[in-house]
Amino acid sequence: MSMLKAKLSSQVPDLRERVRNLGKNHGTKTISQVTVEQVLGGMRGVKSLICDTSEVGLDYGLVIRGIPILKLTEKLPEDVLWLMLTGELPNEKESKDLQSELNSRMDVPEHIWNILDAFPADTHPMNMLSSMVTALGYGSKFKHEYEKGLKKDLYWEYTLEDSLDLIAKMPVIASAIYRKRFGKGDIIKPKKDLDWGANYAYMLGVEENLDEWYRLMRMYMVIHCDHESGNVSAFTSHVVGSALSDVYYSLSAGLAGLAGPLHGLANQECLKFILEVLNHFGKVPGDEELRVYAKERLDKGLVIPGYGHAVLRVTDPRFTASLEWGKKVIPNDDRFMMVEKLFRIVPDLLIEQGKAKDPWPNVDAATGALLYHYGIKEIEYYTVIFSVSRALGICSQLVLSRAMGEPITRPKSVTTDWLEKEVSK
Ligand code: HAX
């Protein structure tokens, strides 16, 4: 048995007991009320989900198991996976054990490569990724055991098995998508002696500044790994998983949400915007030129990508992590200089406009500039990189949800008529 599974086996009974006690002893207590505004406004702020992997505070951002994300940026992504699942960082032996678990599960079945070959050449990479993740479900151990008759207590174990299989394969299929879709040459096979994040970086085929590139990709994988469970992708995966669909179906459904421009696709949109500005001015514009340009965009009713957030009300610490990286490592890169400039200008413009509740940059405002610097210039690919990282959090949430024995998700909807009658009482 892997050390991770052994650790979880020792923790799950207690977790289950805590959840059972909450239901038994406090089941009828109220923790949140729902206003009409919330019903009409995407359920913003309604406390109705349980998620232990991470929490997001509106005035401090992402905290993973009690540790602020800025304190985790130098950790390995697989160590953060362990942290999300168990609540503790692994020791060296545990970290190595998880690494070799993942390395032993990287082989991708042949039918996946046939599917990759069959896509029309201009298919969006997210379309490819979510299809290939669903297709990997052919090998789901959970589905196989469930069909044979699996006790509910053991659901989490096979969900963990599927999760580790899927997480191990994500960088392999994601890098293959990159190589194939953008004509980069042969697919690069993983190196068994590299850690998970560096392996992904290696398989993309970047050839220069490898140490820096590996470090950047590890950090990228850490900062994008989770954002509690109410965001579109995690929530979708949770709902699908609650029907006992396997992890492959659940993650691919979540990735379909991540592919939306208001969510994960925003990183593509951000760099597109930066490149458009550079192209328009033929250089990094002066502050006033940029201010006028951005204001015109807002006046046209368009959003400034990378700014605003449904939950946060401060600068996203994940943006801060990328900004600090850029300042230290690539301060003179044109794209990065634009990131810094936009940060100086956009918040004031959004405050002046008075619409956005959060005028500050989110995670997507800076990462594209960093990827671009190291040669990943195909912006349509950026959300795939986000997805590889987010698989860590979404899979962890699914494992813990099964460990808690959560039931199928089924909130109640009401009709517009009902709502009108109810408020006029
Ligand atoms: N530029 C211009 N207007 C903005 C804005 C921005 N960056 N952010 C919000 N607004 C506007 C909204 O469009 C909305 O306008 P209307 O009332 O005319 O519809 C108004 O401000 C109120 O919106 P909000 O309540 O502040 O924001 P929401 O919670 O509805 O939406 C979004 C949050 C992130 C979707 C939003 O801020 C946005 O569209 N930002 C730009 C796209 C982006 O960066 N998305 C990535 C988010 C991070 C993420 O999930 N990554 O995966």
Q: Is 338 in the pocket of ligand 1 (CB under 6 A)?
A: no
Atom of ligand 1 nearest to the CA of 355: 21
- 3-state secondary structure at position 233: helix
Cα(213) to centroid of ligand 1, in Å? 31
Q: Is 307 in the pocket of ligand 1 (CB under 6 A)?
A: yes
Rg (the chain; Cα; Å) = 22
353 pLDDT more than 90: yes
89, 222: one domain: yes
Which residue from 237, 271, 309 has its CB within 8 A of the most atoms of ligand 1, so it is best to mutate? 309
- 3-state secondary structure at position 242: helix
In the DSSP assignment, the letter for residue 154 is G
Q: Is 65 in the pocket of ligand 1 (CB under 6 A)?
A: no
Measured CA to CA, the distance from residue 347 to residue 344 in angstroms comes to 7
147, 228: one domain: yes
Which letter, b or e, does each residue of 261-293 get, where b requires 16 or more Cβ atoms within 10 Å of its Cβ? Answer: eebbbbbbbbbebbbebbeeeeebbeeeebbee
Minimum CA distance residue for ligand 1 atom 37: 308
The tally of domains found in the chain comes to 2
- 3-state secondary structure at position 365: helix
Minimum CA distance residue for ligand 1 atom 23: 356
Strand partners, 55: 63
Q: Is 358 in the pocket of ligand 1 (CB under 6 A)?
A: yes
240, 111: one domain: yes
266 pLDDT more than 90: no
126, 252: one domain: yes
Cα(303) to centroid of ligand 1, in Å? 7
**What is the CATH number for 396?**
1.10.580.10
138 belongs to a structural domain? yes
Cα(287) to centroid of ligand 1, in Å? 23
Over the stretch 272-282, which tens digit does the pLDDT of each residue have? 999 999 999 99
What is the DSSP code string of 254-265?
A: HHHHHTSTTTTT
Cα(337) to centroid of ligand 1, in Å? 23
Over the stretch 220-250, which tens digit does the pLDDT of each residue have? 999 999 999 999 999 999 999 999 999 999 9
Q: Is 310 in the pocket of ligand 1 (CB under 6 A)?
A: yes
188 belongs to a structural domain? yes
Q: Helix, strand, coil % (nearest 5) of the chain?
A: 65, 5, 35
Atom of ligand 1 nearest to the CA of 358: 26
254, 306: one domain: no
CA 188 vs. chain centroid, Å, equals 24
190 belongs to a structural domain? yes
| Distance linking the first and last C-alpha atoms of the chain | 60
Q: Is 97 in the pocket of ligand 1 (CB under 6 A)?
A: no
Average pLDDT over every residue of 317-346:
97
Domain boundaries, position 113: 83-259+390-404
292 belongs to a structural domain? yes
- Taking each helix axis from N to C end, the angle separating 247-258 and 155-181, rounded to the nearest 10 degrees, works out to 50
Minimum CA distance residue for ligand 1 atom 45: 262
Cα(234) to centroid of ligand 1, in Å? 19
Over the stretch 13-42, which tens digit does the pLDDT of each residue have? 999 999 999 999 999 999 999 999 999 999
Over the stretch 150-162, which tens digit does the pLDDT of each residue have? 999 999 999 999 9
101, 171: one domain: yes
276, 254: one domain: no
Average pLDDT over every residue of 352-374:
96
Cα(163) to centroid of ligand 1, in Å? 32
Average pLDDT over every residue of 404-420:
97
16 belongs to a structural domain? no
Q: Is 390 in the pocket of ligand 1 (CB under 6 A)?
A: no
Q: Is 366 in the pocket of ligand 1 (CB under 6 A)?
A: no
Give me the pLDDT at residue 4, please.
98
Provide, rounded to the nearest whole percent, the portion of the chain with pLDDT above 70. 100
Q: Among all residues, which ones are annotated catalytic?
A: 263, 309, 364
111 belongs to a structural domain? yes
98, 240: one domain: yes
Average pLDDT over every residue of 369-393:
97
Cα(39) to centroid of ligand 1, in Å? 18
Minimum CA distance residue for ligand 1 atom 35: 262
Q: Are 115 and 131 in contact (CB under 8 A)?
A: yes
- 3-state secondary structure at position 56: strand
Q: Are 312 and 56 in contact (CB under 8 A)?
A: yes
**What is the CATH number for 336?**
1.10.230.10
Minimum CA distance residue for ligand 1 atom 36: 308
346, 324: one domain: yes
281, 317: one domain: yes
102, 234: one domain: yes
Q: Is 365 in the pocket of ligand 1 (CB under 6 A)?
A: no
Cα(114) to centroid of ligand 1, in Å? 39
Average pLDDT over every residue of 194-199:
97
Q: Is 359 in the pocket of ligand 1 (CB under 6 A)?
A: no
Q: Give the phi and the psi of residue 64 in degrees, each rounded to 5.
A: -105, 115
Minimum CA distance residue for ligand 1 atom 40: 308
Atom of ligand 1 nearest to the CA of 302: 2
Provide the whole-model pTM.
Answer: 0.96
Sheet of 67-68, strands arranged across:
54-57, 61-64, 67-68
Minimum CA distance residue for ligand 1 atom 15: 355
246, 270: one domain: no
Q: Is 235 in the pocket of ligand 1 (CB under 6 A)?
A: no
368 belongs to a structural domain? yes
Measured CA to CA, the distance from residue 264 to residue 232 in angstroms comes to 9
Measured CA to CA, the distance from residue 246 to residue 257 in angstroms comes to 17
199 belongs to a structural domain? yes
Q: Is 263 in the pocket of ligand 1 (CB under 6 A)?
A: yes
- The residue behind tokens 């998508």 is 177
